[in-house]
Amino acid sequence: MLLGVGPEGPVSGRRVAITGIGVVSCCGVGTEALWDGLNAPAPSGERRVTDFDPERWLSTKEVRQVDRFAQFAVAVASMAVEDAGVVDVDPARAGVVIGTGVGGLGTLEGQILLHEAKGPRRVSPRLVTMMMANAAAATVSIRLGWRGPSETVTTACAAGAHSIGHAAHLVAAGRCDLVIGGAAEAGMTAVSMAAFMNMTALSSSETSRPFDRRRDGFVMAEGAGALVLEDWDRAEARGARIYGELAGSASTADAFHITAPAPGGTGAAECMKLAMQDAGIGAADIGHVNAHGTSTPLNDQAEADAIGEVFGTETPPVTSTKGVIGHGLGACGAIEAVASVLTIEHALIPPTGGLEQQDPDIHLNIVTGAARPWRPAPILSNSFGFGGHNGCLVISPT
């Protein structure tokens, strides 16, 4: 794995193994629920997590003191650590990087209403620690007792990809032996939903149709995803199950507009190229693209243009999971990274839910209808966020 580390330029790093995964999505809790959902007919309407019981991981008292997004983070981190079989790690060399787009927005909105209704003395003294964006990473590191870096990335809808990429860099650079990388979001509040609707970002039909000619906006979602990223030699030495390799990552900025992507997807194309360069591979080595594919008119066209710029007229199979799971804002890149690992594990590429009439201006090899068998190869997973943030990961089979 080649790493761009600050102004020094690229340096060689240790291989980074993926040894544990955890996920919470509108499909349900856990990887089996996610995989089943990705291969089932796309739902309609809201994409909330309806079967989540935080008391599986937190006490009743803790649930009252931790915002829903951080509860999701604790759940997926716990699942990933258990899945990885981590029982012996130097806490000073174990870290946590969990991103989010809006943090504890639910708590903040509720406390504002309480303040207006009952006055300042009724505002919870825990408001700050529940709403702050770093609460998820902090809560996970405290529970695990891991004293390495505990950090938060807030780059809108690219936060999940950026968090996982940064976590991998901490391992590859030798700072940590093991890092949880992921993201969590629970921002489906009344005010946020109204704001996204009023900016015409949400689908008026409540239907997510990535790359479809009738797409009219995204469908909001909530959830979280996490990977345990571990020094490859350490993972092999302890006999860990290795799902794959976090082989490369990249981050760029469009520097164009606060919400609209750069015309032609120029920033996204550069990010994809840099991620492959970081992994030491070329476009011909990519076997599948897990697209950002939000179901918005501008994003899908710009991403399609970017993929065409990188791969030419014969693109790898492309899919967007957002037709099923919706758009989880800062968490989407982490959930999609988990989906990418499962795509390798099952040797199947899930279809793009909701896509029935492919936009004739989008010239991509999109998987539709049913899962497509494939021989696992490196996956390029894309995430792009408001502010012009671009994040790409390369996830490779063993």
Coil, strand or helix: which one is 29?
strand
Q: How far from 310 is each of 267, 274, 315, 359, 384, CA to CA, in Å?
A: 11, 11, 9, 20, 16
Residue 327 catalytic?
Answer: yes
Residue among 114, 106, 97 nearest 69 (CA): 106
Segments of 154-222 assigned E as strands: 178-185
Question: Among the options 27, 157, 176, 271, which is catalytic?
Answer: 157
> Per residue in 213-231, pLDDT tens?
999 999 999 999 999 999 9
Give the Cα separation of 328 and 222 in Å (integer): 5
Give the dihedral of Cα atoms 98, 103, 104, 109; nearest 10 deg.
-170
Catalytic residue among 162, 166, 169, 292: 292
The C-alpha R_g of the chain, in whole angstroms, comes to: 20
How many residues are present in the chain?
398
Which pLDDT score is estimated for 46? 86
Q: Is 292 tagged catalytic? A: yes
CB-facing half-sphere around the CA of 50: CA atoms within 13 A:
5
Please give the biggest Cα pair distance in the chain: 63
From CA 69, how far away is CA 65, in angstroms rounded?
A: 12
Q: Residues of the chain whose pLDDT is less than 70?
A: 1-12
Can you tell me the distance from the alpha carbon of 276 to that of 299, in angstroms, rounded to the nearest whole number? 21
CA–CA distance, 371 with 330 (Å, rounded to integer): 26
Question: Does the domain formed by 16-396 have CATH 3.40.47.10?
Answer: yes
Q: What is the pLDDT of residue 356?
A: 96
Catalytic residue among 162, 169, 288, 327: 327
Q: Other C-beta atoms within 10 Å of 49: how many?
A: 21
CA distance 14 to 93: 15
Write out pLDDT tens, residues 343-388: 999 999 999 999 999 999 999 999 999 999 999 999 999 999 999 9
Number of Cβ within a 10 Å radius of residue 4: 16
Q: Where are the alpha helices (DSSP H) in 85-155?
A: 105-118, 127-131, 135-144
How many CA atoms, within 13 angstroms, populate the side-chain half-sphere of residue 312? 5
CA 37 to chain centre: 17
Cβ pair 292, 262 in contact under 8 A: no
Residue 7's pLDDT is what?
29
Q: Residue ranges per domain, the chain?
A: 16-396
For residue 197, the model assigns a pLDDT of 96
CB-based contact 116:63 (threshold 8 Å): no
Residues pairing with 179 in the sheet: 95, 229
pLDDT at 5: 40
How many Å apart are CA 270 and CA 250, to the nearest integer? 9
Contact status, residue 325 vs residue 315, Cβ threshold 8 Å: no
Contact call for residues 104 and 132 (beta carbons, < 8 A) = yes
Rounded CA-CA distance 142/153 in Å is 18
pTM for the model: 0.96
Angstrom distance (rounded) from CA 28 to CA 38: 11
